[in-house]
Homo-oligomer: A and B are copies of this chain.
Amino acid sequence: MNIVPTWMRGYQKAWLSGDIVAGVIVTVMLIPQSLAYALLAGLPPEVGLYASILPIIAYALLGSSMTLAVGPVAVASLMTASALQPLAAAGTADYIALAMLLSLLSGGMLLLFGALRLGFLAHFLSHPVISGFISGSAILIAVGQVKHLLGVKAGGTDVLDTVAQLVRAVPHTNGVTLGIGAGSVVFLLLARKYLAAWLVRAGASAKLADIAAKLSPMLAVVVSTALVATLRWDQTAGVSIVGAVPQGLPTLALPEVSLSAIGQLWLPALLISLVGFVESVSVAQSLALKRQQRISPNRELLGLGAANVASAVSGGFPVTGGFARSVVNFSAGANTPLAGVISAVLMGAVIAALTGLFHYLPHAVLAATIIVAVVSLIDLDTLREAWHYDKADALSLLATAGGVIAFGVEAGILMGVGLSLGTLVWRSSHPHIAVVGRVPGTEHFRNVARHPVVTEPGLVAVRVDESLYFANSDVLQDTVESLVAAQPKVRYVLLVCSAINQVDTTALGVLTNMERSLSQRGVALLLAEVKGPVVDRLRSTPLGERLQGRVFLSTHQAFVFVHQNTALRPGGADGLIVSSS
């Protein structure tokens, strides 16, 4: 196996200019984002920068998407804050160490899932649940950032409490801070809505205009930093600023690992991994399809896992693929993950030499970029569509969003997983089961409820249209028991197994009990059309031994057998073939 990724081995010169342009543009976008998301996660700004170097390179080596831009993202940052705040005070050395450990756990889980090829884990969450989770988180994030816009202190235990504290804090609002913050929000919203169109009218290409509009946060950062630095608003007006950001590349070190910390962080780490993976794969997939490329969910697990481990050992926090950033990367012409590597190198240069530029950056402008970014994540379209198409899905969405807002991000996503899986189990518990009879004069057998068919006296023939396993085998037993109870003269129950690809241990137990219990009442269980692999495994079980001579190749043969036995012995044929139990 060649460990050099395919894109690197087959790199073509023609790809280089696109990769360089995209790398530079993504860097300009990434700088304010990584500072802002570190703030959101309760971490010092440099941690956000650290999380934007090695993780990108690690993903470039193992991931399968050509255009996914990995780094700090809003929802994972919120989940980080929510996991760590009960354990340590935000911004302290302990808090940073726990953030690194969280990233290590999350990365380790993703690598493990990737190695075990568990990409299907993404299917634990339905789309409405994910959409509700993201929308709820966005609201939670936006509300939590308002204090930075006002320049006040307010940290409620839940949304209502936070809002109440904000309302009480309004009189203490710092006017200049509010000016910078609210000004930035208005600028960013206007820029998003009109800047691209305006640039196109001014003669720019649509693509260029679109990318330029996406970079408006950097403009807000530059202008506000320059203002504060020039007018010294941090001293004259009490504007809260980022302050000194340590210069220099991160040092590599394993985070402190303690069993008690792992005990507290494994669940948040699992949830961050799951949500990050699902979001990341869906972004990567939609971009890949536009260029007729493919991504591999299992390689995405490895790529994201490596990125998180890299983040953990270089002083960072949990990362994943970001939506807006990946779209910009794609539009700016990224052809391969080299674009990401270029971003990483540029970020490294910024950290090594230019952190002084962030000294006067006001917190309010970072809060403004966060708010504007997450407001666009509130997804009313999916709610509207689900409401029209499937009310149950719409209610799942609302319940998940409500759960996040009322009980926090972890309880919310757990509720969402529960709702998704509840639907899945419910659906699986309702297999399609048909009673079948013979289409007159043929060897075909069809549902008695839908076709004019002939049944055999003393026989109930049942066809299950699904494999038998723990979630549906009870239902089969219930159905058979009601059918037998309703027809006291029944002497044979035939199970038509044409659609059964598998019988798990639970279902085997149910079938064994059912056979025994039927036989105690003088009813014989017969099987027909059992697939080869199913027969092979049944053969060596006690049920298989008891069923000897009662497994038929075709439904027709089973019907003939019953017909002959019932005709021979009008009193019932149980003495002939039903063994005692």
- List residues of chain A with CB under 8 Å of any chain B CB: 120-128, 286, 289-290, 292, 294, 382, 385-386, 388-390, 393-394, 420-430, 432, 467, 469-472, 474, 481-482, 485, 501-502, 504-506, 508-509, 513, 517, 520-521, 537, 540-541
B427 engages A421 (CB within 8 Å): no
The answer for the CA separation of A504 and B424 in the assembled complex, in Å, is 11
Using Cβ atoms and an 8 Å threshold, which residues of chain B touch A423?
Answer: 469-470, 504
Say whether chain A's binding surface is mostly helix, strand, loop, or mixed: helix
B505 engages A386 (CB within 8 Å): yes
| Closest 7 pairs between A and B when the two form their complex, measured CB to CB | A126-B470, A127-B506, A393-B505, A120-B429, A123-B471, A386-B505, A289-B517
The answer for the CA separation of A481 and B293 in the assembled complex, in Å, is 10
The answer for the CA separation of A387 and B474 in the assembled complex, in Å, is 22
Using Cβ atoms and an 8 Å threshold, which residues of chain B touch A125?
Answer: 470
Using Cβ atoms and an 8 Å threshold, which residues of chain B touch A432?
Answer: 501
* Given the contacts A289-B513, A474-B123, A427 and B467 also touching, CB distance less than 8 Å: yes
Of B123, B388, B429, B467, the residue contacting A470 (CB under 8 A) is B123
Using Cβ atoms and an 8 Å threshold, which residues of chain B touch A120?
Answer: 425-426, 429-430
The answer for the CA separation of A425 and B125 in the assembled complex, in Å, is 10
* Given the contacts A127-B505, A428-B428, A501-B432, A385 and B290 also touching, CB distance less than 8 Å: no
B426 engages A425 (CB within 8 Å): no
Of B126, B428, B513, the residue contacting A504 (CB under 8 A) is B126
B127 engages A521 (CB within 8 Å): no
The answer for the CA separation of A458 and B420 in the assembled complex, in Å, is 38
Q: List 12 A-B contacts (CB under 8 A).
A: A123-B470, A126-B469, A126-B470, A126-B504, A290-B517, A385-B505, A388-B540, A389-B540, A423-B469, A424-B424, A424-B425, A427-B467
The answer for the CA separation of A504 and B485 in the assembled complex, in Å, is 36
A505 engages B294 (CB within 8 Å): no
Using Cβ atoms and an 8 Å threshold, which residues of chain B touch A481?
Answer: 289, 294
A485 engages B292 (CB within 8 Å): yes
Which residue of B has the minimal Cβ distance to A541? B389
Which residue of B has the minimal Cβ distance to A421? B421
A547 to chain B, nearest CB (A): 15
A128 engages B420 (CB within 8 Å): no
Using Cβ atoms and an 8 Å threshold, which residues of chain B touch A289?
Answer: 481, 513, 517
B470 engages A127 (CB within 8 Å): yes
Using Cβ atoms and an 8 Å threshold, which residues of chain B touch A428?
Answer: 123, 424, 428
Using Cβ atoms and an 8 Å threshold, which residues of chain B touch A390?
Answer: 504-505, 537
Using Cβ atoms and an 8 Å threshold, which residues of chain B touch A393?
Answer: 504-506
A123 engages B425 (CB within 8 Å): yes
Using Cβ atoms and an 8 Å threshold, which residues of chain B touch A501?
Answer: 432
The answer for the CA separation of A378 and B60 in the assembled complex, in Å, is 50
Not counting A128-B506, A432-B501, a sample of 14 additional A-B residue pairs whose C-beta atoms are within 8 angstroms of each other reads A120-B426, A121-B422, A123-B425, A123-B428, A126-B470, A126-B505, A127-B470, A294-B482, A382-B509, A386-B505, A393-B505, A424-B425, A424-B470, A427-B467
A485 to chain B, nearest CB (A): 7
A513 engages B470 (CB within 8 Å): no
The answer for the CA separation of A150 and B356 in the assembled complex, in Å, is 69
The answer for the CA separation of A124 and B470 in the assembled complex, in Å, is 8
The answer for the CA separation of A394 and B485 in the assembled complex, in Å, is 34
Using Cβ atoms and an 8 Å threshold, which residues of chain B touch A521?
Answer: 292
Which residue of B has the minimal Cβ distance to A129? B470
Using Cβ atoms and an 8 Å threshold, which residues of chain B touch A540?
Answer: 388-389
A123 engages B386 (CB within 8 Å): no
B389 engages A505 (CB within 8 Å): yes
The answer for the CA separation of A40 and B289 in the assembled complex, in Å, is 59
Using Cβ atoms and an 8 Å threshold, which residues of chain B touch A509?
Answer: 127, 382
The answer for the CA separation of A121 and B508 in the assembled complex, in Å, is 20
A474 engages B122 (CB within 8 Å): yes
Using Cβ atoms and an 8 Å threshold, which residues of chain B touch A290?
Answer: 517, 520
* Given the contacts A292-B521, A390-B505, A425 and B485 also touching, CB distance less than 8 Å: no
Of B127, B385, B513, B541, the residue contacting A286 (CB under 8 A) is B513
Interface centre among A422, A485, A504 (most CB of B within 10 A): A504
The answer for the CA separation of A125 and B537 in the assembled complex, in Å, is 23
Using Cβ atoms and an 8 Å threshold, which residues of chain B touch A467?
Answer: 427
Interface centre among A123, A393, A423, A540 (most CB of B within 10 A): A123
* Given the contacts A421-B425, A425-B421, A427-B467, A389 and B506 also touching, CB distance less than 8 Å: no
* Given the contacts A128-B506, A481-B289, A427 and B469 also touching, CB distance less than 8 Å: yes
A126 engages B424 (CB within 8 Å): no
Using Cβ atoms and an 8 Å threshold, which residues of chain B touch A482?
Answer: 294
The answer for the CA separation of A377 and B283 in the assembled complex, in Å, is 49
